[in-house]
Amino acid sequence: MKSLFTIRPDDDLDKGIVEQFCNLGIRETTRIEYKREFPTDLAKSIASFANTQGGIVLVGVDADSENRPILPLCGMDYVAQPEERVYQICASSIHPPIVPSVWVVPFEDPSHVHPDRVIIVIRVTQGETAHAVDGRKRVYVRTGNISEPFDIATVDQVMELVGRRRESANTRARLINQSRERFQFFSEAYLTKRQSEVLDTLGQRTRSMLSKGVVVRLQFVPVFPSTPLMRLGEIRKALRSIFARRHDGRGWDSFPPCLTERIVQDSVIRLGGSRLLEITEVNELGVLSFSSNDLADVRGALNEPVQTADAITYFNVIANALAMMTFGVLAYEQMGFYGLCDFTLEISAVKGRRLLNNWCLFGETCPDDRITFGIRVTPSELKNDLREHFFALVTRIDNAFGYEATKQDREELERLVSENISIHFATQYYHPKGQL
């Protein structure tokens, strides 16, 4: 059964799914609220959910004396543009604004232009800051009290809200640092193994170049990483059936790459790459990380044509970025996570390097040791605006090397993104939960 808490924002909802949910008889809690008619205090309900742990408002569902949903469902009279009405309230009456997921569920055949009665399902994720209403003067939180589901936050509750946000920030920092340390550990093991497998002089040169060479990191971190989204066994099972595609310049291969897989205390680690180290980490709290060396350093160690040691492979970096963006969307859909997350790119040790593509160096020498890019989005926002965010990332890299993309460059990347979207989203290139 689909859950209103985990259904994807772009999935359709019908009356049957809402009835199945209400059949569970869940009482109004800090995460669920039932409203027979469109409420005048909707802004308070939505803001209080965002200020607590997130939640769902079902408008058109009446509740009994124990605050459980009444069946059969009554619905509410249809009003013009109900979705827009909800979004308008969230944008004009809540500060900072909130963008919830909204579904309008008709009672009749969905093909009817204006159904008589509907149910409005509003899902709110936990906010990253305190959201105020009543002219920015009041902050509401959920109380867990049936008669008064929300109330004005006390000073202590506001302080607690700020403290939770600070704790989330500390947890994010810890998880990011942990991922870096794990890459360093596996990198050392890989370099030691690589040195023992090839000629001494070549092995030493490879180890030297890769140990001080470029590292590309791509990472998703939930803004509020507090509870496990999946356990390790579930993650391993999911990774066997969901993956993205990555273009290697010749064709599409699987992403994330995997030659071997192992677990650590809270994550599944995948080691991939034949000529360079590629590590993917999927954490129980929803952290998704991909780290790799750069192919230019490997080629430099092998004395391949062109002085590649002073470059980074342009197409390899942006192809990995696009694949990781796509993998993040698909993985979070599988995990049932639709909240805010930070997506970041970091390329280290690039000072003094240029761009390399098809054995040609281009762009200017990078003056910075590190290139960074970051966005804060929900998975559904990233999916809907993938092209926009991808090109913002590419522009960031181009600017770091003083490079202005040509029309041909842009057209090639447009084709890459369009094909990527067609493969993964137009045809829903993933395995639904029920088929795992």
The whole-number mean pLDDT for each consecutive block of 10 residues of the chain, a chain of 436 residues, reads 74 89 90 93 94 92 92 90 92 90 82 75 87 88 78 80 82 94 86 60 52 85 89 92 81 88 95 82 96 69 54 90 96 86 95 86 94 92 92 96 92 92 67 33
Q: Are 417 and 386 in contact (CB under 8 A)?
A: yes
Q: In whole angstroms, how far apart are CA 213 and each of 309, 346, 352, 354, 369?
A: 8, 14, 12, 13, 11
Is there a single domain that holds both residue 178 and residue 277?
Answer: yes
pLDDT of residue 43: 95
Residue type, 340: L
Mark whether 190 and 58 lie in a shared domain.
no
Q: Which domain range does residue 30 map to?
A: 15-153
In a domain, 161, yes or no: no
Backbone angles phi, psi at 389, to 5 degrees: -70, -35
In the prediction, which pLDDT does 114 show? 60
Q: Report pLDDT for 160.
A: 77
State pTM to two decimals: 0.76
**CATH number assigned to the domain comprising residue 43:** 3.30.950.30
Residue 214, in any domain of the structure:
yes
Considering 153, 186, 212, which residue would you say is the last residue of a domain? 153
Residues 238 and 230: beta-carbon distance below 8 Å: yes
How many domains is the chain built from?
2
Note the pLDDT of residue 209: 52
User: Looking at this protein, which amino acid is placed at residue 226?
Assistant: S
pLDDT of residue 1: 46
Q: What is the pLDDT of residue 296?
A: 63
Token pair in block for residue 80: 């013009």
The pair of structure tokens assigned to 145 is: 């009290």
For tokens 């924002």, what's the residue? Answer: 9
